[in-house]
Amino acid sequence: MSEFSATVRDQIAERLTALSAARAAGHDYEVHLHGARVRDLLDLAVRNDVDVTGWVDPAVLDAATLDG
């Protein structure tokens, strides 16, 4: 794994931890923000030809959206 890939993966892991903490605290907007950041990082990795298969459970990101 390249240094770039490792760094992006570490940042995603940090955001997922923060997302989980925000969810546990009932902070829906923070959940949304962390989910959006994870999506941005995944997009960045893909644009740089990094295979992100299996990095994030899609259900986690689906649940990290603002309702209505």
Domain ranges for the chain? 3-61
Summarize pLDDT for 23-67 with one digit per residue, the tens. 999 999 999 999 999 999 999 999 999 999 999 999 999 999 887
Of 30, 32, 23, 27, nearest to 65 (Cα)?
A: 32
Distance of alpha carbon 7 from the chain centroid? 13
DSSP-based three-state secondary structure for 27:
coil
Task: Specify the pLDDT at position 16.
Answer: 97
The pTM of this model reads 0.91
DSSP string spanning the chain? --HHHHHHHHHHHHHHHHHHHHHHHT-HHHHHHHHHHHHHHHHHHHHTT---TTSS-HHHHHTSS---
Summarize pLDDT for 2-22 with one digit per residue, the tens. 999 999 999 999 999 999 999
Task: Specify the pLDDT at position 66.
Answer: 81
